Structure 1
Amino acid sequence: MSFSSYKNIRSVIKKFNLTYQENNYIIPQNLAISDYLRGEIEFSLREVVLENSELAICENLIYPILKEIWKNYYLEDYMLWSHEALEYDEDLSGVPDYTIAQRSPQGKVIFDRPYLVIVEAKKDNFTEGWGECAAEMVAAQKINESPEQTLFGIVSNGKIWEFGKLSLDRFVKNIKSYYISDLDELFGAINYLFDQCRLQLGNG
């Protein structure tokens, strides 16, 4: 089954015998936002037609934000991948929209251990988005063969950003959502996940 075959998070929880919880675990960590990016995001929200194109949302809202934060971390030995295949077995395979993965000692062209997956909520459908994202997180956990490590997931329609994490057999969804209308708070939340990925790399 492809990741998109999981239509809600319940189907992933049941199939892979996970437990599901909700609480607020995000601790936003302030990160300076360049005036250039602020201007680009404001321009895209004001002028770009986003409603009729999933690709437009990825290109104009989601990816620029991820890339800006990743610039502060790329020397920490991990990579930001766009639409790179993630395959474990016939039940867990597909292509996440974006992935944060360990930088391979073989060079940047080699996809290595994934720690964070990002899924666009297509047509604002967060229910299906979380089914897909949770399945990708399970695949990442199995690929890494380190179930005690924490894997992270984001589902976003560009304007709303939701967060989840998986460790051992426990999936936790953050109760609070973050919004592009408060770019500083959103950056702080995503920056927290990037820093947690850095800690995972240190333990890997």
Structure 2
Amino acid sequence: MSFDTYKNISEVLKEYRITSTEGNYIIETEIAIREAFQEELEFCLREFAFAESEYAICETIIFPILKEVYRHYRDKFTLWSHKTIAYDEKLSGVPDYILAKRSPLGKEVFENPFFVAIEAKKDDFIKGWGQCLAEMVAIQKINGESRQQTIFGIVSNGEFWQFGKLKSNIFTKELKSYTISELERVLAAVNYIFRQCELELNSFAE
């Protein structure tokens, strides 16, 4: 088995005894948008046929947005693309993107992950969240459940962005949904996630 064998959140909740809830926990945290980034993203949205290519969605929308926010946190984290992780045979696979603690040994060394982001392939957010939550559970177990760390997850098809978090055995899905047409809000929501990861990292360092 691997992450993508989970078809929905329910399968993960039952297998790992997780309680699901919803709430408005994201506090949109404003971030400066570089003009060059905005122009490039607008060009991609205008020129590429995303319905024909899932790779184009990842490479020209999802990753650039994550990367733009990551610029502000690169001293503390490393943003990994398609990095294999494994806790056991069931909880293994390749998340699209992972934010992990930056290792003092160099950017080639993978250390404690804090969030995962995946593409909702074929706009299937139901399966996307099943896969994402399984990845969040894997990260929780890899890092050590005793740390009481909050793990964050993002599922997006490029146009729509959804957010969730896992702390202990409680999964909370953000009620607000974000669209690429409101780019500043998407970036502010992603920036909030990065900021929370930074606070988590600082708390463990104390």
TM above 0.5: yes
Q: Output the amino acid matched with 2:14.
A: K
Question: 2:134, 2:52 → 1: CA distance?
Answer: 26
Q: Give 1:10-89 correspondences, 5 Å limit.
A: 10-75=10-75, 77-89=76-88
Corresponding residue of 2:198: 198
Report the counterpart of residue 150 of structure 2 in structure 1: 150
Q: Alignment partner of 2:112: what SS?
A: strand
Cα distance in structure 2, aligned partners of 1:95 and 1:17: 23
Distance in 1 (CA, whole Å) between partners of 2:177 and 2:164 is: 11
Larger deviation: 130-139 or 44-53? Answer: 44-53
Q: Secondary structure at the match of 1:27?
A: coil
1:30-69, CA deviations, whole angstroms, 9 ceiling, x for partnerless residues? 0011111111111111111111111000000000010010
Alignment match, 1:96: 95
Q: 1:102-117, aligned counterparts within 5 Å?
A: 102-117=101-116
Equivalent-residue separation in structure 2 for 1:44 and 1:174 (angstroms): 28
Partner of 1:119: 118
Q: Which runs of 5+ in 2 are unaligned?
A: none
Distance in 2 (CA, whole Å) between partners of 1:179 and 1:21 is: 22
Query: What are the Cα deviations for residues 67-105 of structure 1, in whole angstroms up to 9, with x where unaligned?
Result: 010000111x21100000111001100000000001122
Instruction: Tell me, in whole angstroms, the C-alpha distance in 1 between the residues paired with 2:137 and 2:37.
Output: 33
CA–CA separation in structure 2 for the residues paired with 1:143 and 1:200: 16
Cα gap change, 1:133/1:139 in structure 2, threshold over 3 Å: closer, same or farther?
Answer: same
Distance 2:179 2:85 in 1: 28
1: CA distance, partners of 2:105 / 2:86: 20
Q: Residues 152-173 of structure 1: CA distance to partner in whole angstroms, max 9, x if unpaired?
A: 0000001100000000000000
TM-score, L = length of structure 1: 0.98
Within 5 A, what are the aligned runs for 1:170-185? 170-185=170-185
Residue 4 (structure 1) aligns with: 4
TM-score norm. by structure 2 comes to 0.97
Alpha-carbon separation, structure 2, partners of 1:185 and 1:38 = 13
Unaligned runs of 5+ in 1: none
Tell me which stretches of 4 or more aligned residues in structure 1 moved more than 2 Å. none
Q: Which residue of 1 aligns with 2:167?
A: 167
Secondary structure (helix, strand or coil) at the match of 1:69 reads: helix
How far the C-alpha of 1:146 sits from its partner, in A, is: 3.7
Q: Give the secondary-structure state (helix, strand or coil) at the position aligned to 1:176.
A: coil
Q: Quote the offset at 1:18 in angstroms.
A: 0.4
Q: Secondary structure at the residue paired with 1:105? A: coil
Specify the code of the residue in structure 1 equivalent to 2:114: Y
Q: Is it true that 1:132 corresponds to 2:131 in the alignment?
A: yes
- Paired with 1:36 and 1:128, the residues of 2 have a C-alpha distance of 34
The 3-state SS of whatever aligns with 1:22 is strand
